[in-house]
A and B are shown apart, each in its own frame.
Chain A
């Protein structure tokens, strides 16, 4: 599994190169990769379907409980097969959709990066690695949405998606860490067995809130649903793959994965049911208010995601079974419909529902795919979507205080799905029309083959539900429930209440389709409501943040070196004073006064050199004099170092003082004349600050000297510097051997500082100049 992920990342970064070599054939290797992973996963499938969980552990940072741990059970296998199988088709489709695009290589890079991250996310068995892959999917989704980066709308949509999902990602990280603390393990397989321990922990509620925030932003649940329709700015392969079938289901996956760990409590159930229900209704309602094919599909996707979350919230065995079945069915038909919408857009140049009619003649195969997918979406009999819908109704009608509310939600969304399915699968293609929409180019194989394959999969699964799907879905549901399940999918359940309700849905859906124009005319009346919607709140928040950041930056980063230094020193003084005040040692100055008599002659001489020069420095009105005096002070300090036995430090100090003076002299004559521009009080403020800093340092040193120095370090270095470091100069051996990593860090800082100085002084560098 690790190899599969690694190969994915490697191929992703090779994509631009492959595009240069292979030209339009680049889709061949790009599609082969997910296909081979798909086959590899199929070889693992018998073991998983037999009830085993496969694991693979690679140590990453074991001390922090972070490991590259891969874990394959029914649930991850379902998602992994979906990702790689659909991924293969999407890679082919993208090759046709973006054929001849100059940045196709880059597109494949992003797409393969996303696919691998998503695969890593569902295979990860360590919650920290789940988070890492989670964020990788957010980033690659950002890149994909912003692929048409020359358009303002795609850039802002990409940023919106990144900010919303990134915010959720941060919350998720905190939540996962809390979960790890509560469950005392960061491994999924351990956590799965510690559900009771987690739910009874005091950290359960905060962890739940944070994790739900992460899952809801990713899966576009109310009130974070607004980024998904905007994300349709991405090229259609991306919308089909990320924003209908895989990435938006990452949140659902996480909820499903954590059901045995965190599920079953009232908080979990009611939150998921409430949020999922609102999202379902809202998505379905908004889907009827749009004419853009992709927008309609986006809102029905939101609605479907809401249903999935609701089902996870109910948490009973039938509900979770319905959830996995509907998840698969939805991925199959929604992916197809997105690709169909992409084909129509590609061939006709428009996605407006009202302008498209009678395309079945000119786009035969696309039309067939659309019909198959539409019938699955509407829940017609031999299709997999029918089984999904039956189970949904059954699950929502189970004994519970909210059964009619839940049923109403799924019934309403089912009705809208039928209407949308008729409009997309039938309306624009098969309804008789006297003036079919003209095509700019005929249908292409690479464009109609993937949706056709995907749609017929939906038909095959519907006709032969017992063949491969049932065991897989059963294992997936078991992974969520934690107990052995006996559930068989069957197409025909006999004449019962659910079948009657299905038929009623169809009938009412058709009515809704017939009167959709009337419904649309009400759309304008709701415009006032959008002002209070989350999308507008997001816009206001973003604007506020930017304005606030500008203001804070203008205050904090005012460009005066003196205020930065003053801030650093003030903070330093404040911290030291506070910590000394609270429980620091007190200075006993009385016992120390006799030590003054041990003063040596040259110490007094140095003191007499430094203090008068300081006073002279304050009085001086010339820069040259000031610099010379600074030099005197620096050399005197160096002499102090020599007196107290630190020749290395002294040498460095001497050289640095020399250099400072020389470099000052170099630029001295370029500076303007020395004048006092500030008010005297301004200057005395800094004098006061310097005095207090000096006083504080003196005080600290006096305190330090009050206690006998009791450190093993000096002895250790003294003993080992020659034995281990082969040098007699302890200071240098520490610098280049014992603590060489610190030195390396320091010289890196030095190099960066040099580059910074150059950048600061040479901002007028012309384009094309070298550093």
Chain B
């Protein structure tokens, strides 16, 4: 669907959408909101982007990671190699021109990975209780308080998992539907 106004507007709106969705996620504990609602808000941003620009464009813009790397030299120590790889990826722009052996590799973040991450986060937040000898899903809270976000604790982790999963599910459905 080609509408210039929506297409332009959504590009500016997406950061706002995402910030708002994260805010909704964290305020959920004391006010209306939470992981599910936050996830839906975040997902709507991407859905609108897909609607106006097509799924390929959305994937290229938001769901792709460019990593840079080169094969490990035979006599190079593993830790040194790892450090250099990290440095290449952090300050890659300066290095790229001077090192022709550095290759670019794209990693596409499939929505299914987001779903899996969300599920993993939610499930592990419950395991914390098990490790401490409490029942599964027993909540733990820290004592300090972060402005805006609130008190960190395992339920927040759980909610974050729900948030990611909802985004992943909606994205997956949208991509599948629009690619059909």
Contact = CB atoms under 8 A, between A and B. Distances in A.
A and B part of one assembly? yes
Interface of A: 647-648, 651-652, 655-656, 658-659, 662-663, 665-667, 670, 725-729, 731-733, 735-737, 740-741, 743-744, 747-748, 750-751, 753-755, 757-758, 761-762, 770-771
A648 B34 contact: yes
Q: Give the 5 A-B residue pairs with the shortest CB-CB distance, closest first.
A: A727-B29, A655-B40, A647-B32, A728-B30, A754-B169
B112 A736 contact: no
Nearest to A771: B112
8 contacts: A648-B32, A651-B37, A662-B51, A663-B177, A665-B1, A736-B35, A743-B122, A751-B119
Given A651-B33, A728-B31, A750 B165 contact: yes
Given A659-B43, A729-B32, A761-B177, A740 B155 contact: yes
B36 A662 contact: no
Nearest to A722: B30
B24 to A, nearest CB: 8
B29 A666 contact: no
Given A747-B161, A771-B112, A651 B174 contact: no
A655 B137 CA distance: 28
B67 interface: no
Contacts of A741: 126, 136-137
Contacts of A667: 177-178, 180
Given A655-B40, A665-B51, A747 B30 contact: no
B178 A648 contact: no
Contacts of B123: 744
Interface residues of B, number: 53
Query: By DSSP majority rule, is chain B's interface helix, strand, loop, or mixed?
Result: helix
A761 B176 contact: yes
Interface in B61-112: 110-112
A666 B177 contact: yes
A627 to B, nearest CB: 14
Contacts of A651: 32-33, 37
Given A741-B136, A747-B119, 18 more contacts: A648-B32, A659-B47, A662-B48, A662-B51, A665-B51, A666-B178, A667-B180, A729-B28, A736-B29, A736-B35, A747-B122, A751-B115, A754-B111, A754-B168, A757-B172, A757-B173, A758-B112, A771-B112
A753 B112 CA distance: 12
Contacts of B48: 662
Contacts of A663: 47, 173-174, 177
A659 B31 contact: no
Query: Most chain-A CB neighbours within 10 Å: which of B1, B29, B35?
Result: B29
B22 interface: no
Nearest to B178: A666
Contacts of A762: 176
A748 B168 CA distance: 12
A647 B30 CA distance: 13
B34 A732 contact: yes
A648 B176 CA distance: 29
B119 A725 contact: no
B63 to A, nearest CB: 14
Contacts of A658: 44
Contacts of B155: 725-727, 733, 736-737, 740
Interface string B145-180: 000000101011011011001101110111011101
Nearest to A658: B44
Interface of B: 1, 28-37, 40-41, 43-44, 47-48, 50-51, 110-112, 115-116, 118-119, 122-123, 126, 136-137, 139, 141, 151, 153, 155-156, 158-159, 161-162, 165-166, 168-170, 172-174, 176-178, 180
B29 A726 contact: yes
Given A729-B34, A762-B176, A659 B141 contact: no
Given A659-B44, A662-B48, A751-B169, A729 B176 contact: no
A726 B32 contact: no
A665 B174 CA distance: 11
A732 B172 contact: no
Contacts of A659: 40, 43-44, 47, 170
Contacts of B156: 736
A656 B176 CA distance: 18
A662 B30 CA distance: 30
A651 B169 CA distance: 18
Given A666-B178, A740-B137, A740-B155, A735 B34 contact: yes
A758 B174 contact: no
Contacts of A662: 44, 47-48, 51
B62 to A, nearest CB: 17
B100 to A, nearest CB: 30
A771 B110 CA distance: 8
Nearest to B112: A771
A762 B112 CA distance: 14
Contact of B180 (A652, A670, A753): A670
A751 B162 CA distance: 10
Nearest to B32: A647
A743 B119 CA distance: 11
Contacts of A753: 169
B33 A732 contact: yes
Nearest to B115: A751
Contacts of B41: 655
A419 B158 CA distance: 73
Contacts of B169: 750-751, 753-754
A740 B158 contact: yes
A737 B153 CA distance: 11
Contacts of B168: 751, 754
Contacts of B153: 726
Contacts of B35: 736
Contacts of B118: 747, 751
A706 to B, nearest CB: 30
- Indicate the member of B32, B123, B172 with the most A CB atoms within 10 Å: B32
A336 B177 CA distance: 65
Contacts of A740: 126, 137, 155, 158
A615 B33 CA distance: 34
B166 to A, nearest CB: 7
A757 B112 contact: no
B40 A728 contact: no
B18 to A, nearest CB: 15
B122 A727 contact: no
A737 B139 contact: yes
Contacts of B180: 667, 670, 761
Contacts of B115: 751, 754
A761 B1 CA distance: 21
A614 to B, nearest CB: 26
A736 B170 CA distance: 21
A302 B180 CA distance: 60
B167 to A, nearest CB: 11
Given A662-B51, A663-B47, A751-B119, A736 B158 contact: yes
Contacts of B47: 659, 662-663
A741 B122 CA distance: 10
